[in-house]
Amino acid sequence: MNGDDYGHADTAADGTDRLVGAEAESDESAVEAALRPRELSEFIGQSKVREQLDLVLKAARRRGGTADHVLLSGAPGLGKTTLSMIIAAEMSAPIRITSGPAIQHAGDLAAILSSLQEGEILFLDEIHRMSRPAEEMLYMAMEDYRVDVIVGKGPGATAIPLELPPFTLVGATTRAGLLPPPLRDRFGFTAHMEFYEPGELEQVVHRSARLLDVRTDAEGATEIAGRSRGTPRIANRLLRRVRDYAQVKADGMIDRDIASRALAVYEVDERGLDRLDRAVLGALLKLFGGGPVGLSTLSVAVGEERETVEEVAEPFLVREGLLARTPRGRIATPAAWDHLGLARPPQSPGSPAGTRQQGLFGE
């Protein structure tokens, strides 16, 4: 996994319906909308991004112009859509929301661009998935507020220039590394969103609990935050499931005990691993002695598609330092043995002796 690759999975079959999946579930948008911070001052965490964006927006407001184009990169569920809406609110501008996959032809983009109002925010999610012709049209639109609409085909085709009102493009991507440099360079401000610290996620849980009218104490919020994989969307989702449990099995109040009992029911452990993550790790340790083992073999062992293991389970396991991808296959780290409560075998890749042995093979 490189720094820009968050293992984005596209379909529910790839595990997006998991409780700890970072992508939005199909029926989640209304709840998410209700929990979205509306102003920069309400946005929790990402302090550098907030400070820098605040300056960009204040300066644009003072000049009475439109803000520079903004590129937001980071894993799903970290608040890119939320930030784009905050940008619109702070600029008192309308916002148009679309996504790269929805723009397959340059004409689709021309239609959107030509209907923008002056100062409007155009939010383009998954901008790395736009088609090449649309991307090229966007270069000119971003730089000169102009597009060339091609009319006709073949030798008779003519380009009709179309002036656009000044607008602000907010592009979002989970894979900044996939953006062609000419596109990346046209953004005046680029922000990389990091995973959230546990303390920040506790604030997210407290804020959402207040909005949902759920009572939670400090330890209950800590328990939920610790299992949220650094991601506000997951924190909000776990909070809602714990709320269900608290209302059905207790008096509605969320404390540590209720949160951990609820999340045990949903098979999300103290570190945020779910059934799939633990199945992958369990197979790696128990069937293959900690590896190295090939991805295909590991996938067959857990009865999942190769892509599901690679894109859904592994990125988090790698990020948590529980699994490593090596040229010889997947290996478990010492922390993996500890996490599943298993004794490290003397010659395992996780043991100090095993680590030395890998060195001999030039890992």
Ligand X SMILES: Nc1ncnc2c1ncn2[C@@H]1O[C@H](COP(=O)(O)OP(=O)(O)OP(=O)(O)O)[C@@H](O)[C@H]1O
Any idea which residues carry the catalytic annotation?
80-81, 125, 174, 233
| Residue nearer to ligand X on the CB measure, 202 or 310 | 202
Q: Is 14 in the site for ligand X (CB under 6 A)?
A: no
Q: Is 7 in the site for ligand X (CB under 6 A)?
A: no
Residue from 4, 5, 25, 32 in contact with ligand X (CB under 6 A): 32
Which string of x and - marks every residue 69-108 that binds ligand X (by CB under 6 A)? Answer: -------xxxxxxx--------------------------
62 assigned ligand-binding residue: no
State in angstroms the smallest separation of the CB of 49 from ligand X.
Answer: 9
330 assigned ligand-binding residue: yes
State in angstroms the smallest separation of the CB of 231 from ligand X.
Answer: 8
Using alpha carbons, list the distances in angstroms from residue 323 to 129, 209, 269, 285: 29, 34, 17, 10
| Residue nearer to ligand X on the CB measure, 41 or 117 | 41
For residues 332 and 349, what is the distance between their CA atoms, to the nearest angstrom? Answer: 7
- For residue 210 the two structure tokens come to 């207040």
For residues 162 and 78, what is the distance between their CA atoms, to the nearest angstrom? Answer: 36
145 assigned ligand-binding residue: yes
Residue 121 contacts residue 171 (beta carbons within 8 Å)? no
For residues 131 and 124, what is the distance between their CA atoms, to the nearest angstrom? Answer: 13
Count residues near ligand X (CB under 6 A). 21
For residues 195 and 6, what is the distance between their CA atoms, to the nearest angstrom? Answer: 11
Q: Contacts with ligand X in 174-213 (CB under 6 A)?
A: 204
Residue 73 contacts residue 128 (beta carbons within 8 Å)? no
Residue from 125, 202, 311, 314 in contact with ligand X (CB under 6 A): 125
Q: Is 40 in the site for ligand X (CB under 6 A)?
A: no
| Residue nearer to ligand X on the CB measure, 82 or 348 | 82
State in angstroms the smallest separation of the CB of 36 from ligand X.
Answer: 4
Q: Is 4 in the site for ligand X (CB under 6 A)?
A: no
Residue from 7, 15, 21, 45 in contact with ligand X (CB under 6 A): 45
Secondary structure (3-state) at 339: helix
Residues in the chain: 363
- For residue 331 the two structure tokens come to 């290996």
81 assigned ligand-binding residue: yes
For residues 258 and 55, what is the distance between their CA atoms, to the nearest angstrom? Answer: 42
Q: Is 290 in the site for ligand X (CB under 6 A)?
A: no
Residue from 7, 15, 21, 37 in contact with ligand X (CB under 6 A): 37
Which string of x and - marks every residue 223-252 that binds ligand X (by CB under 6 A)? Answer: ---------xx--x----------------
Beta strand segments in the chain, E: 70-73, 95-99, 121-125, 146-151, 158-163, 168-173, 189-192, 323-326, 329-332
286 assigned ligand-binding residue: no
82 assigned ligand-binding residue: yes
Task: State the virtual CA torsion across 305, 308, 314, 317 in degrees, nearest 10.
Answer: -110
CB atoms within 10 A of CB 306: 14
Residues marked as binding for ATP?
35-36, 77, 80-82, 143-145, 186, 196, 233
Binding site for ligand X (CB under 6 A): 23-24, 32, 35-37, 43-45, 76-82, 125, 204, 232-233, 236
